[in-house]
Amino acid sequence: TPVAVVPLALFWRPGPRNERRFLNLAYGAATRPTDLAKVASFLVNYHNLAVKVADPIDLTAFVQERRAEGQDAVARKVRRSILVFLYREEKVVEGPTLRPRHKVQETVLASPRVNVAIEERARERGRSAEAARAEAEKMFREIAANMNSTFLAVLNVIVTAVFRRVFVSIETSGLEKVAAYAKRHPIVLVPSHRSYFDFLLLSVLFYAHHLVPPHIASRENMGFGPFGFIFRRVGAFFMRKSFDDPLYKEVFRAYVEYLVREGFTQEFFIEGTRSRTGRTMAPKRGFLSWDVDGFLASQRRDLFFVPIAITYERLIEEGSMLDELSGGAKKDESMLGLVRARKVLRRRWGSAHISFGEPISLADSIGDRRAQFALEATEEDTADKRRFVDDLAQRVVERINAATFANTTAVAACAFLGETRRGMLRHELTRRMQEIVALLRLQDARLTPALLRDQPDFDDAVAFLLRSDLIEAAPDPRGEILFYEEGKRRVLDIYRNGILHF
């Protein structure tokens, strides 16, 4: 009789687990909870239940192939297969255990390079080693995230409600492949950067799909007001604009090495800042090189960089981008600016699309040069490693571009700006958009579902552009004329640039 064993992994709630929770509900352990803890966990989290189903194990065939090994040996192998599945699913859902912050600080500051930098600081400034160490501890607290499952759950509810109000839809592609990679090795998310919503979209997406949210590298300007406190507890860690301070640089590098060594999912923006032109900017290799150093210093077998392209039918920061392109100074993030930005909730901003590109294996990329790069024994080794990081950065950016989905706004903007005049008859616009879609297909570019559904007349696209005030319509005996005002040219340019590389 055919018999199959089907391993099941049940998760009552998404998000990471802390090393120690408050009294563990009457002194139970995280792995052996008390009856009170079980009941409380069920009542709080039953609506978040997720079941992950493994591939069935054909027990009949498995036994027939190994019958000579004996019953005990076969049972142990089946048991191990089940445990491997459960471990991998648990790893991708919960991630590494969240240790108390003071223990993380002890681990990071125990780095030999940090200790050398502390001694150097004490000598330079004529201070005691204890005072220099206290300065390093302050720097760690300035940098480090303090992820908390409760904050993640609360923020998920709030941000999801905001997304439902702001976006018509949020579409994704390629997430299943990324989850499969994350079961075996740590991953580093490397998204394009067009909006402040980028990191919120990814964190909520991972949380909703029972994947551990990433630790996100953020500039210190995002730590304004109480939001710095909140962002730290949902995974953000902060870095200064300048790394001129040698002690600060070593503390930051040691913290990144800790994240790699422990296997935390990370996220950083390789462009360094938001693109104001719509094009993917030249990569900054600083953070990438620290991740490479962290991998070389660890015993990790591999580390995967996941390029991600995030596209919007309409950018919420469109107005501020135009001001900056016109020469205006960038405004610092503040509570007042956040209050003023509440007006974005009063309108719909179209769809957002998150596309995960093909991950890049760091182990495969380095090959047999791992020992050479780790030692950096000669100047030539250091130069080779620098060239490797530069090449890796270019590959990541190229894959971000390749993963980009063309949406209706980008195609329409390309059609308008491909003319010497500011408008055209509706049937002319439709024909131009059809030609551009055909060219995109020749380049194997991917098209958003909304764009595919809207062919061949693109009525929804035109209606959206009219509602968004990007274009205007005027009657004419020859038919409806669609045109844009001169002041909208730069806006259309931003959206066209998103697919210009195709």
95: left (phi over 0), alpha (psi -120 to 50) or beta: left
Other C-beta atoms closer than 10 Å to the C-beta of 173 total 17
Q: Which helix (H) or strand (E) holds 76?
A: helix 71-94
Are the C-beta atoms of 178 and 308 separated by less than 8 Å?
no
Cα-based distances in Å from 69 to 1, 83, 242 = 21, 20, 62
> Do β-strands 187-191 and 304-312 pair in parallel, antiparallel, or remain unpaired?
parallel
Give per-residue pLDDT as tens, 426-484. Answer: 999 999 999 999 999 999 999 999 999 998 999 999 999 999 889 999 999 988 999 99
- pLDDT, one tens digit for every residue, the chain (502 residues): 889 999 988 887 777 877 655 544 444 455 566 777 778 777 776 777 788 888 898 999 999 999 999 999 999 999 998 998 888 888 888 888 889 999 999 999 999 999 999 999 999 999 899 999 999 999 999 999 999 888 898 889 999 999 998 899 999 999 999 998 998 899 999 999 998 899 999 999 999 888 999 999 998 888 777 888 999 999 999 999 889 999 999 999 999 999 999 999 999 999 988 888 888 999 999 999 999 999 999 989 999 999 999 999 988 887 777 777 776 666 665 444 544 556 666 777 889 999 999 999 999 999 999 988 988 778 898 999 999 999 999 999 999 999 999 999 999 999 999 999 999 999 999 999 999 999 999 999 999 999 999 989 999 999 999 998 899 999 999 889 999 999 899 999 999 999 999 9
Q: Would you state the pLDDT for residue 31? A: 56
Does the predicted model carry a pTM greater than 0.85? yes
- Ramachandran angles phi, psi of 61, nearest 5°: -65, -40
Give per-residue pLDDT as tens, 100-126: 999 999 999 999 999 999 999 999 999
pLDDT attached to residue 18 = 72
- With residue 482 as reference, give the H or E element that holds it: strand 481-483
6: exposed, middle or buried (Cβ count in 10 Å: 0-12, 13-18, 19+): exposed
Neighbours of 1 (CB within 10 A): 3
CA distance 315 to 321: 9
Q: What one-letter code names the amino acid at 462?
A: V
